[in-house]
Chains A and B, each alone.
Chain A
Amino acid sequence: MDDTSIFGARPDHLDQLLRLALEPPEGEHDAPPTVSLDSLQEKPGGRIDKYKLLQILGEGGMGIVYLAQQEEPIRRQVALKVIKPGMDSKRVIARFEAEKQALALMQHPHIAGVYDAGMTLTGRPYFVMEYVKGMPITDYCDHHKCTIEERLGLFVQVCQAVQHAHQKGIIHRDIKPSNILVSLQDDKAVPKIIDFGVARAIGKSLTERTLATEDTQLLGTPEYMSPEQADMAAEDVDTRSDVYSLGVLLYVLLTGVLPFDSDTLRSGGIDHMRQVIHETDPKTPSTRLTSLGDEAAKVAGRRGTEISTLAKHLKNELEWIPLKAMRKERSERYRSASELADDIENYLKGEPLIAGPPTSLYRLKKFVRRNALLSTAILTVAVTLFLGLAATTAMYFRAERLRVKAQQASQQAQQAAEKETTARAEAERFWAQAEAASKFLVKDILGKEAFVEGPDSDPYYSLYLVTEELEGKFVHGPLAESIIREALGEKYMDVGKPELAIPHLERAYQICLHTLGPDHKRTIQSTRPLGWSYVALGRYDDALRLWNEQLEMIQKVYGEGHRLEVLFMNNIGNTYTWAGKYEEAEEILVKALEINERALGWTHFFEIGCRNLKNLVQKYLAQGHYDKAAPLLQGVVERQILRLGETHRKTQESITDLINLYEAWNKPEEAEKWRAKLPADGTTNGQSQNTSE
């Protein structure tokens, strides 16, 4: 490829190249090559005012930090920060100045103090800070094999320093190990925060890869960055953002690893990074530790302990602290750095923590967020349970009222009492099932770590896990299992996986069959989704066999003309159409229609009637019998107009079907006639005009 070719690069990369042309012009256009502003930059050995520059401690995009020697009034080593030549834009200088002022306000034993400030000869501002000859806090702790308690002790001091800054109105925004140096003073480890807020002024931290996009002002280090900071809504970042970063720091101090792996976090660009920070919950430190394998032993060793002791430490409430500090929702974090410090003290003293295990509500919210499919399935179960409970309870009260009434007429009393006993038994049985189902949902599903912490990628994973959980849980409450399996099965059908639905639906049916008997309405109803799942897989014969059995049962037990009979005949007719058995389809659909009109009447079962007719229409259409289909469909439309009104969505749908039919039949005049009934703008009315339906 030609090495000047750029076609194919990402649009934002082209943008970056173009941006070069916008950077402030440095000198005249054709400045002689190889002479750069770098020559203006001070070199070790040189001086800035009274400070002799000894070596470069760190260098970033806009600033540079030197180790310098101060001669007067006292002789000491200091850290001197200065803006790089060419980076001294008004904006950078203004921020640099503001932060310098802020730093001067702070006086805390754990914050590196500012001694002096000034201008270089070329007019660039600099300031002089206490030089902390120390190691980053995590390195220090590992190097000295600090125990958990020692680590917590250091961390508390860091929190107090951050709190001090917050009280002065300063947010650090870049708390991370390399900005907290620990040195030994009189054999005592003393942590000091450096770079306090300076990251804001000079753009990048000097010792670690701090992410700063050129114009978008994403400042901070992704691994330690709170969700709101990653959003770059800078004005919205408050002290709780530092609390978040402190949480990450604590996490690292405890486990030796970051909550989110650096490589993964940085692999997909800023948007991916932002998404992880926003949406991925960190694993609990103990889980993260155990997932480390061999490395875990080393981590424990660096804390002067064994894996098992370390894990016990963590599990024993300690790990709740970093997790609370790192909540995505900042209102759920510690309110301040000092509250975080207090909670560490609580832990060290064995007092109750402010942080607790995630609350049920928190887990529930998280559960719903992560398991969308399963959550809707559970809602279905809950609704089924609720309706069942409502119905059986109502039955019980009705029976009791009857009994009270019947007491006045003694001959009916015996009968009423029996009825009441049956209703009570039914209600109690249902309560027991409901309890079993709720217990399963709450304890086994919601309480299960895998649902809250498992892989995010597979939306069916949670359904699969429920399936695993179900086995053997409902020996004493099988009906609850059938409800749950039915919900699962329907969920699998919703997502187009009939082959996975069938085992659940078959099991649900079998449970009802054995517990309630073949003639129970629930048993019969449970064959409906099962039959449809057969149909979805083209197993028409299985569906027909199953539904014909039910139809026979319905006719025997409930007599002719029952709603269920029409429903099942409809299903059977439809399946015949799917299977291409048009004669059988017509026979049963016409019969269903007759029963519907005769026994049920349109007023009561309007919906089923329309569906019934439409099924028949579909069957004729499949055969190309427009002459038979047209009057039937027209009949549906007319009934719908009468009952629902012309503008109802369903009526309009049927009219559209009718127009299509006439067009396919090559009867344009008829089609036009009906087209006139459709609104020009396509608006329909979802509400029935007749609310009595």
Chain B
Amino acid sequence: MGGLRQKFLTTHWSLVEDIKKQGDKESALIGLLLERYWKPVYCYLRCKGHDNERGKDLTQGFFHEVVLGRNLIDRADASKGSFRSFLLHALNHYVTDEQRKDHACKRIPKEKLVPLDFVGAPELHEVVDQLNPEESFNYAWKADLLERTLSTVKECYIKQGMENHWNVFRERLLQPLRENQEPRPLRQMCRQYNIKDEATASHMLETVKRRFQSVLREQVRHTVLTGQVVEEELKEILKFFEKQSEI
């Protein structure tokens, strides 16, 4: 791993620190950690060549045995580099171990399974297929961060009864990026959502963009130890992406 990726994401040390302080492994915080990381772990394993079932089993096993059972949190040390490397190191170790034993998580009693939302397991999109395991881990992490941000933004506008703001943002910005297509003309949207004119639609878009910006920054702030490094963190994330898109 290059220096860039080493630096990438001190993420969730704050979470880990909190969990340590509270000393309660069953706390909501550890649940949050699972929630944030199971998708990246699952994608990583899939890109390593494990099929869907095996990928799920290994993800389960890893969180059950390593994260919960072997005091991973206690051994985590923020001064020793990124949480992500630490986690991946532990994961690789676990997978090698399991392969040797080759009976993965069959012995985890059903009632003890970690509550991971496999129903919503991301289908491995062709985009992820083209990435290497570590890139896919990061991709999934990033997508998850964005999805959380987007949900919060959407909720905020729906609650305030400003659905059209969200609609304009979704169709003008989000869908084109997601579906890789041209954005719809503002004029069409004005007709569909009964918006006064294009200038108004354009203002609405800018407004949601700013809200998105602030929520995203807030989300990133949650993942690092101090607010001051938000900017640095985001820049690291972006640098990482630039590097990745050159590959």
Contact = CB atoms under 8 A, between A and B. Distances in A.
Do the two chains belong together in a single complex?
Answer: yes
Interface in B221-247: 231, 234-235, 237-238, 241-242, 244-245
Contacts of B131: 11
B235 A8 contact: no
Contacts of B135: 11
Contacts of B147: 4-7
B213 A12 contact: no
A40 interface: no
A18 interface: yes
Ranked 6 nearest A-B pairs via Cβ: A8-B125, A4-B150, A29-B214, A15-B241, A13-B177, A21-B216
A9 interface: yes
Among A21, A29, A34, residue most surrounded by chain B Cβ atoms (within 10 Å): A21
B12 interface: no
A107 interface: no
Interface in B131-162: 131, 135, 139-140, 142-144, 146-147, 150-151, 154, 160, 162
Interface residues of B, number: 50
B127 interface: yes
B36 interface: no
Nearest to A8: B125
A264 to B, nearest CB: 16
Contacts of A5: 147, 178
11 contacts: A3-B154, A6-B174, A8-B128, A10-B127, A11-B241, A14-B142, A14-B177, A17-B174, A33-B160, A36-B207, A38-B202
Given A4-B151, A14-B142, A36-B203, 10 more contacts: A5-B147, A5-B178, A6-B150, A10-B127, A12-B241, A14-B139, A15-B238, A18-B241, A20-B209, A20-B213
A29 B217 contact: yes
A23 B209 CA distance: 10
A5 B154 CA distance: 11
Contacts of B212: 17, 20-21
A19 interface: yes
Interface in A255-282: none
Given A9-B177, A21-B217, A22-B235, A36 B206 contact: yes
Contacts of A21: 212-213, 216-217, 220, 234
Contacts, number: 112
Interface string B99-126: 0000000000000000000000011010
B192 interface: no
B180 interface: yes
Nearest to A13: B177
B84 interface: no
Interface of A: 3-23, 25-27, 29-31, 33-38
B93 interface: no
A13 B214 contact: no
A22 B142 CA distance: 15
Contacts of A20: 209, 212-213, 216
B174 A18 contact: no
B170 interface: yes
A3 B174 contact: yes
A27 B241 CA distance: 27
Nearest to B125: A8
B180 A10 contact: yes
A659 to B, nearest CB: 30
Contact of A7 (B143, B160, B218): B143
Given A14-B146, A15-B245, A33 B154 contact: no
Contacts of B245: 11-12, 15
Nearest to B218: A29
Contact of B177 (A16, A29, A37): A16
A34 B169 CA distance: 13
A13 B177 CA distance: 6
B191 interface: no
A6 B177 CA distance: 8
B244 A18 contact: no
Nearest to A21: B216
A30 B215 CA distance: 9
Interface in B175-203: 177-178, 180, 199, 202-203
A18 B245 CA distance: 14
Contacts of B244: 11
Given A6-B147, A33-B165, A23 B238 contact: no
Contacts of A23: 213
B20 interface: no
A25 B213 contact: yes
B5 to A, nearest CB: 14
A4 B209 CA distance: 14
Contact of A8 (B127, B206, B216, B238): B127
Contacts of B125: 7-8
Given A3-B154, A15-B242, A34-B204, A9 B143 contact: yes
B146 A17 contact: yes
Contacts of A19: 238
Given A5-B147, A6-B178, A18-B238, A11 B139 contact: yes
Nearest to A33: B207
A17 B242 CA distance: 13
B204 to A, nearest CB: 7
A136 to B, nearest CB: 23
Given A17-B146, A21-B220, A38-B203, A9 B127 contact: yes
Nearest to A23: B213
B25 to A, nearest CB: 29
B48 interface: no
B70 interface: no
B127 A4 contact: no
A44 to B, nearest CB: 12
B80 to A, nearest CB: 27
B210 A26 contact: yes
Contacts of A29: 214, 217-218
